[in-house]
């Protein structure tokens, strides 16, 4: 090996160490962000000289080569200074509060999704899980506004009931008859971002709805958003597949219904499962048998936990293109952020958020 080759190898090693240090510094700054949030809540001062001195003493006690102590001291002085300055900037930003209203929310991914969007937008935002009983809905939105919330999402089972306390509704919320996003500034206005979220998910999968024959499994709130989008975007036909098709068509005048047992997907361009069948913890279930799914053009399951439901495994085994509901979940949150922030965001954020969520799974 020549001297030049040896130098290149050393520099490559330094580059690898630098990359590792960078990742660790990013992780450290994530913790610094959390400390800043605590200090905001408690009023603690940013600068704590005694704490910094203890950190430096602990670090130096672990330096094995005495020749490096001065360099390590210089580096950590800079790190601690950068941490103080970062906390100062965070605490100088206005703080925004958002949340999710629902009955049982412990497994929700929404806090992670919105925390990612806050970081990408440079917003000091907090997203809370707001579990309430039905009798607590009355006056809830006004109480949240008084507490400083700028906006909330709404999930099962309150997407319809919450509408009674709103001042106005977006066109798609009126059409669907359900709300999942509310802006608490300048009056209480409700939106349904499931509509746009579903559409963005189809676009991401390169699925065309124009002239498509579609079958929608289920007739609940999620189905309303799906059907509205399909009707508005040129679907040639929409079939409601349900355990009780007569009741289903009463909710959707003008559409045809069919029992689940009688359904066959052959000839349908798009099959969408809007039911909770197959969702965690009942992961061994499927709304359709494998033979019923044969012949479909594309299968979308709005469930995202598990990532691959039994229904989607059937699709994969049959060679049918398919996707789950994670993109739609993130996309509807993305649209909610656009509403709350009053700005258009880069659609690439959706893909980045999904990668971050899967990376932390």
DSSP string, 243-261: SSHHHHHHHSTT-EEEEGG
Biggest alpha carbon–alpha carbon distance for the chain = 82
Report pLDDT for 361: 55
CA torsion angle for 166, 169, 175, 179 (degrees, to 10)? -50
Report pLDDT for 172: 94
Tens of pLDDT, residue by residue over 98-132, are: 999 999 998 899 999 999 999 999 888 999 999 99
Report pLDDT for 6: 85
Nearest to 59 by CA among 37, 42, 74, 41: 74
Tens of pLDDT, residue by residue over 286-342, are: 999 999 999 999 999 999 999 999 999 999 999 999 999 999 999 999 999 999 999
Tens of pLDDT, residue by residue over 2-45, are: 877 788 889 999 999 999 999 999 999 889 988 887 887 788 88
% of the chain surpassing 70 pLDDT: 99
Rounded Cα gap, residues 158 and 117, in angstroms: 25
Rounded Cα gap, residues 235 and 211, in angstroms: 5
Per-residue confidence band for 283, with pLDDT thresholds at 50, 70 and 90: very high
Which H or E element spans position 240?
strand 237-242
Tens of pLDDT, residue by residue over 127-179, are: 999 999 999 999 999 999 999 999 999 998 999 999 999 999 999 999 999 99
Q: How many other C-beta atoms can be found within 10 angstroms of the C-beta atom of residue 123?
A: 18
Instruction: Order the strands of the 168-169 sheet from edge to edge.
Output: 124-131, 95-102, 149-154, 181-183, 189-191, 168-169
The DSSP symbol for 270 reads: E
Rounded Cα gap, residues 303 and 34, in angstroms: 31
Report pLDDT for 88: 87
Q: Which domains does the chain have, with CATH numbers?
A: 3-92 (1.20.59.10), 95-192+329-359 (3.40.50.10860), 208-324 (3.40.50.720)
Q: Are 137 and 102 in contact, with CB atoms under 8 Å apart?
A: no
Residues with Cβ < 8 Å from 306, sequence gap 6 or more? 278, 280, 283
Per-residue confidence band for 91, with pLDDT thresholds at 50, 70 and 90: confident
Q: Does 159 qualify as catalytic in the annotation?
A: yes
Q: For all residues of the chain together, what is the average pLDDT?
A: 93
Per-residue confidence band for 89, with pLDDT thresholds at 50, 70 and 90: confident
3-state SS assignment for residue 12: helix
Long-range own/partner contacts, residues 157-163 (CB < 8 A, 24 or more apart): 157/102, 157/103, 158/101, 158/102, 158/103, 158/132, 158/134, 159/221, 160/221, 161/134, 161/137, 162/101, 162/137, 162/190, 163/190
- Choice among 27, 39, 104, 159 that is catalytic: 159
> What's the distance, Cα to Cα, between the start and end of the chain in Å?
44
Q: How far is CA 361 from CA 44, 112, 175, 262, in A?
A: 33, 11, 36, 38
**73, HSE (Cβ side, Cα atoms, 13 Å):** 10
Nearest to 114 by CA among 328, 303, 325, 336: 336
pLDDT at 231 over 90: yes
For residue 215, list its beta bridge partners: 239, 271
């Amino acid at each position: 090996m020549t001297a030049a080759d040896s130098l290149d190898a050393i520099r490559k090693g330094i580059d690898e160490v630098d990359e590792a240090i960078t990742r660790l510094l990013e992780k450290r700054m994530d913790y610094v962000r959390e400390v800043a949030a605590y200090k905001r809540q408690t009023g603690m001062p940013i600068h704590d000289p005694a704490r910094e001195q203890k950190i430096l003493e602990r670090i130096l006690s672990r330096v094995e080569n005495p020749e490096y102590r001065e360099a390590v001291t210089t580096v950590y002085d800079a790190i601690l200074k950068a941490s103080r300055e970062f906390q100062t900037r965070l605490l100088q930003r206005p703080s925004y509060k958002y949340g999710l209203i629902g009955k049982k929310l412990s497994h929700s991914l929404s806090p992670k999704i919105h925390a990612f969007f806050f970081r990408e937008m440079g917003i000091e935002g907090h997203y809370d899980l707001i579990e309430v009983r039905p009798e607590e809905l009355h006056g809830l939105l006004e109480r949240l506004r008084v507490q400083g919330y700028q906006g909330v999402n709404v999930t099962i089972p309150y997407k319809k009931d919450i509408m009674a306390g709103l001042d106005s509704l977006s066109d798609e919320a009126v059409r669907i008859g359900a709300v999942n996003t509310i802006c608490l500034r300048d009056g209480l206005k409700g939106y349904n971002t499931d509509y746009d979220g579903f559409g963005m998910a189809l676009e991401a999968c390169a699925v065309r709805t124009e002239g498509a024959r579609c079958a929608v499994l289920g007739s609940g709130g999620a189905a309303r958003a799906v059907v509205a989008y399909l009707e508005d975007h040129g679907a040639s036909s929409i079939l409601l597949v349900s355990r009780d098709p007569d009741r289903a068509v009463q909710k959707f005048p003008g559409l045809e219904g069919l029992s689940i047992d009688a359904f066959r997907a052959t000839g349908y361009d798009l099959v969408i499962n809007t039911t909770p069948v197959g969702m965690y913890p009942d992961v061994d279930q499927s709304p359709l048998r494998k033979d019923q799914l044969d012949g479909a053009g594309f299968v979308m399951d709005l469930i995202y936990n598990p990532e691959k439901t039994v229904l989607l495994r059937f699709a994969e085994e049959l060679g049918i293109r398919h996707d789950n509901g994670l993109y739609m979940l993130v996309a509807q949150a993305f649209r909610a952020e656009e509403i709350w922030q009053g700005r258009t965001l880069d659609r690439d954020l959706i893909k980045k958020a999904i990668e971050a969520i899967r990376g932390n799974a």
